[in-house]
Amino acid sequence: MGRITLENRDLSARARQLFEKALVWDDHGCMPLRADDDSFLPQLERYQRAGVDIISLNVGFDAVPWENTVLVLAHFRRWIRQHPDEYLLIEHIDDIDRVRREGKLRVMFDIEGGCALNGQLSMVEFYYDLGVRWMLFAYNRNNALGGGCQDDDSGLTAFGRQVLEEMARVGMVTCCSHIGHRTAMEIIERTSNPVIFSHSNPRALRDHPRNIRDEAIRACAGTGGVIAINGIGNFLGHNDDRTETIVRHIDYVSQLVGADHVGLGLDYVFDQQELADFLKNHPEIYPPEQYPGGMKMVRPEQIPEIAESLLQLGYRDDDLRKILGENHLRIAQQVWKQ
Ligand SMILES: [Zn+2]
């Protein structure tokens, strides 16, 4: 794989061989949500050097105005297109494999919360056409679509049900991270598509409102979906960003529902100051006792070590390939309309 230079030179030959050939897909990464700032975007190279093939970049969440989401999307798309030797905008399912041998990082987008629709159903297809491949309904707090995980979740609304149908029609994947348990179970009940938790961890290993119950993990797997494990230290443990800890979360979900239903969604935040400001300015979204400052997080560079650790735990090559990316690919092939 031409351009990829794995930083971790200590990988075993088996891990290196498997990792370099595997499709590696991180379902959630966070660049600053500022349409006038491209100072962090060159750091996308870090994914590439860590061997990642596909990254889903967040373009907005419920705490920023919907207009900002559109502006950030325009900004990211232009910047990626201006760097065609390194990056490719994913516009079609065939783009997943097309430039694989050239080692380009392929980029898609995601939206955390239905406020980005501004109450207008047709915005779903608008975003899909611009490369947004998954969306979650409510970010921690209730909104017009459904309930959040840091709120008294009142369930899926009538508008939420319409959005769910529209997403299936246009091919956008439904994500159940950040929403409340009741809303997640109601979505899973209603949909005939596989759903994902794009960046959520088992509450059995770390009791935090952002983490999900075994019942939700089983229900997601029952749709044929994927639970992608989050790398935020506060959701893994008590500000714990060690590889062995995220591997424990991956292994827990894998033991519970099988390796066909586990993936990676590291949620790595590049601009730590922006995160600190969001936490400080929105205590209603991030109750301070549950979201302490100075959060550690698993870095993209740890992904090869994660693969190595899973092999050491006895994972078979084919199961590891599924976890690293093939499960996400399966969902895309089932849900995307192009
Ligand atoms: Zn998130």
pLDDT of residue 298: 98
> Any idea which residue has 């419920």 for tokens?
62
Is residue 2 in some structural domain?
no
Is residue 4 in some structural domain?
no
Residue 268 Cα, ligand 1 centroid: separation in angstroms?
Answer: 10
Q: DSSP assignment of 224-285, as one string?
A: T-EEEEP-BHHHHSSS---HHHHHHHHHHHHHHH-GGGEEE---EES-HHHHHHHHHH-TTT
Contact at 8 Å (CB) between 307 and 172?
A: no
Residue 234 Cα, ligand 1 centroid: separation in angstroms?
Answer: 12
Residue 12 Cα, ligand 1 centroid: separation in angstroms?
Answer: 33
How many domains, in total, are found in the chain? 1
* Residue-range definition of the domain harbouring residue 241: 13-335
Host H or E run for residue 306:
helix 303-312
Q: What is the pLDDT of residues 65-117, one digit of tens each?
A: 999 999 999 999 999 999 999 999 999 998 887 656 577 999 999 999 999 99
Residue 102 Cα, ligand 1 centroid: separation in angstroms?
Answer: 30
Residue 198 Cα, ligand 1 centroid: separation in angstroms?
Answer: 8
Is residue 72 in some structural domain?
yes
pLDDT of residue 153: 96
| Cα 218 from chain centroid (whole Å) | 19
pLDDT of residue 235: 98
Query: Residue 327 sits in a domain of what CATH number?
Result: 3.20.20.140
- The list of the chain residues with pLDDT below 50 reads 1-4
Residue 61 Cα, ligand 1 centroid: separation in angstroms?
Answer: 8
Is residue 191 in some structural domain?
yes
Residue 267 Cα, ligand 1 centroid: separation in angstroms?
Answer: 7
Is residue 250 in some structural domain?
yes
Whole-model pTM: value is 0.96
Helix 158-170 to helix 181-190 angle (10° resolution) is 50
Is residue 3 in some structural domain?
no
pLDDT of residue 10: 75
pLDDT of residue 5: 52
Residue 317 Cα, ligand 1 centroid: separation in angstroms?
Answer: 29
Contact at 8 Å (CB) between 174 and 134?
A: yes
pLDDT of residue 2: 34
Residue 123 Cα, ligand 1 centroid: separation in angstroms?
Answer: 21
Residue 210 Cα, ligand 1 centroid: separation in angstroms?
Answer: 9
Is residue 5 in some structural domain?
no
- End-to-end CA distance of the chain: give it in Å, rounded: 26
Distance CA 247, CA 203 (A): 15
Is residue 80 in some structural domain?
yes
At 175, phi and psi to the nearest 5? Answer: -110, 140
Contact at 8 Å (CB) between 247 and 303?
A: no
Rounded-to-5 percentages of helix, strand, coil across the chain: 45, 15, 40
Amino acid at 34: R
pLDDT of residue 103: 79
